[in-house]
Chains A and B, each alone.
Chain A
Amino acid sequence: MQHHTLSCCGGVRPSLPPPPLSFRWSKIKREGGRRLPRCARIAAQLELKPPPYSLSSLEPHMSRETLEYHWGRHHRAHVASLNNLIAGTDLDGMGLDEIVVVSYNKGNPLPLFVHAAQVWNHDFFWQSIKPGGGGRPSGRLMELIERDFGSFDRMLEEFKRAALTQFGSGWAWLVYKANRLDVGNAVNPCPSEKGNKLVVLKSPNAVNPIVWDYSPLLAIDVWEHAYYLDYENRRADYVSIFLEKLVSWEVVSDRLDVAIERAAERAREDETRRQEDDAAVTHSEAVEMYLDSDTDDSEAE
């Protein structure tokens, strides 16, 4: 998703998301995203990736005109603004996922967040749809939908409701929830595969569920610019058509596979870390938990 200005081929999106974040944000906070001296600037520019289909191929459900403005103007402007704002700072050279999470700044977003997140969101959105989309999912995706929502139709209803009740601008999402409590050293003491499930969410403006450590599977843009040229104020019609004619359940399914694998890997890492910690405690000779004292300071005195 990014390339250095010297190379001319676009980067290939890796099949697994990057490893757990090293959270350089504390460094950035200290240094305030300062600009490096000119000679040291990396200039790793993020690029505007085109949708994997032609701009007119989603007609009549999403017009060529909409794609020309939505992708060609809105999405493009966010890429340009983002590149401008990260150039020469510590965020330059980071992967887009990391830039989004770091700039979200735990709920107090930096000015560049809207651009980073909207680049991420729109890349994700274009890949979520395709000409001749719609239909029904199958395999593991369908199993989990039925398990977690009761039925495919119930999931669609919930997704539509989220999209229609996102007041103002924003997004509605289907995500895979396998997130962990990562607040300081408070780790979920009893993590289990059973806690992982599909969830429908909505988010305002540019917010994206990766900032809450969810794995997004599907997104619909409900900013008015996403549907106004084709549907005017009729957001409900747009959402229905999106689900019936545009969504690529294959892509959603692939994303689910990646998300499940990632969750399993993190569970394995947690288990390894737990075992190592236990081993360290057992072998430590310095541990003296209950000190016997000669002096008697008990309350019984």
Chain B
Amino acid sequence: MALRTLFTKKALTRASGLGPLGAAAGDRGLGSGLGQARGLTAASLPDLPYDYGALEPAISGEIMRLHHQRHHQAYVTNYNNALEQLEAAVAKGDAPAVVRLQGAIKFNGGGHINHSIFWNNLKPEGGGEPPHSALGWAIDTDFGSLEALVQKMNAEGAALQGSGWVWLALDKGSKKLSVETTANQDPLVTKGLHMVPLLGIDVWEHAYYLQYKNVRPDYLKNIWDVINWKYASEVYEKETA
């Protein structure tokens, strides 16, 4: 039953690109808690590794609180509901129901995956320490300079219509870095099975509206002060080992 293994905690951790960090953060990470008795392990809301107000002034405490407690929690709740319904539909052999649920699973599961990565992508004063060694060299090779990378991500993030994410992606096959965007809550893997997210920036309006209103470019400019390059480097080194 391939479906069952797909939703075990380990598989989720791998899919989210958290790797060893995900396992280390497993106590507060994905899949702990509910539903161990069921075939499909339920997701749960991971804790933030910092206080809500710790990312100010780049991102306000109010936004962090709502983003984590309301939006991410809703994705987790709805994802679990959809999984429950999926399990029942699969057991009954109800193919129309299985297909109908895919939208909710992709959307809410994607939201859970993406935001779990995002909280690890941020760190109080994280941006003060630019990427060194392997990731630093890769950025220079593939983009010319860190500034060029930042500019590209900001441009693509600002140009994204509607809701979505902008990513610094690593292609595991070619070992090349690229900037990608995904719509709505589509995870990076929808852009390519070999794509691993090193950094993701949420450009849904809920990620910045209360503070920056319609001026998404200002949010993008300021978020680099709190980007966790240490995390990105660790994922990069693990995936290119």
Q: How far is the CA of A168 from the CA of B213 in the complex (A)?
A: 17
Task: Flag if A168 contacts B161 (CB, 8 Å).
Answer: no
Q: How far is the CA of A73 from the CA of B183 in the complex (A)?
A: 23
Task: Flag if B162 contacts A167 (CB, 8 Å).
Answer: no
* B214 contacts partner chain A, Cβ-Cβ < 8 Å: yes
Task: Flag if A73 contacts B214 (CB, 8 Å).
Answer: yes
Given A77-B214, A167-B184, A233-B74, A228:B161 Cβ within 8 A: no
Task: Flag if B205 contacts A224 (CB, 8 Å).
Answer: yes
Residues of A within 8 A of B95 (CB): none
Q: How far is the CA of A68 from the CA of B209 in the complex (A)?
A: 14
Contact among B184, B185, B204, B214 for A69, CB-based, below 8 A: B214
Contact among B70, B206, B214 for A74, CB-based, below 8 A: B214
Contact among A73, A224, A232 for B204, CB-based, below 8 A: A224
Task: Flag if B206 contacts A224 (CB, 8 Å).
Answer: yes
Residue in chain A with minimal CB distance to B74: A233
Give the total of A residues in contact with B, Cβ under 8 Å: 19
Task: Flag if A233 contacts B206 (CB, 8 Å).
Answer: yes
Residue in chain A with minimal CB distance to B69: A233
**Contact residues, B160-195 vs A (CB, 8 A):** 161-164, 183-185
Minimum CB–CB distance from B63 to chain A (whole Å) comes to: 10
**Contact residues, A203-225 vs B (CB, 8 A):** 204-206, 223-225
Given A223-B162, A233-B74, A168:B184 Cβ within 8 A: yes
Residue in chain B with minimal CB distance to A68: B213
Task: Flag if B71 contacts A69 (CB, 8 Å).
Answer: no
* A114 contacts partner chain B, Cβ-Cβ < 8 Å: yes
Q: How far is the CA of A229 from the CA of B209 in the complex (A)?
A: 8
Residues of A within 8 A of B210 (CB): 228-229, 232
Given A168-B183, A232-B66, A224:B213 Cβ within 8 A: no
* B93 contacts partner chain A, Cβ-Cβ < 8 Å: no
Residues of B within 8 A of A167 (CB): 103, 107, 184-185
Task: Flag if A224 contacts B214 (CB, 8 Å).
Answer: no
Task: Flag if A233 contacts B184 (CB, 8 Å).
Answer: no
Contact among B162, B204, B205 for A170, CB-based, below 8 A: B162
Q: Encode contact with B along A179-206: 1 for CB under 8 Å, 0 otherwise.
A: 0000000000000000000000000111
Task: Flag if B214 contacts A225 (CB, 8 Å).
Answer: yes
Q: Encode contact with A along B45-57: 1 for CB under 8 Å, 0 otherwise.
A: 0000000000000
Residue in chain A with minimal CB distance to B186: A168
Most chain B CB within a 10 A radius of its CB, from A114, A169, A205, A206: A169
Task: Flag if B209 contacts A169 (CB, 8 Å).
Answer: no
Residues of A within 8 A of B164 (CB): 168
**Contact residues, A44-74 vs B (CB, 8 A):** 69, 73-74
Minimum CB–CB distance from A167 to chain B (whole Å) comes to: 5
CB-CB nearest 6 A-B residue pairs: A224-B205, A169-B162, A168-B184, A205-B162, A168-B163, A233-B70
Extra A-B contacts (8), CB below 8 Å, given A225-B209, A225-B214, A233-B206: A69-B213, A73-B214, A114-B161, A167-B184, A168-B163, A168-B204, A224-B204, A228-B209
A–B pairs, 17, beta carbons within 8 Å: A73-B214, A77-B214, A167-B107, A168-B163, A168-B204, A170-B162, A204-B162, A205-B162, A223-B162, A223-B205, A224-B205, A225-B209, A225-B214, A228-B205, A229-B210, A232-B210, A233-B74
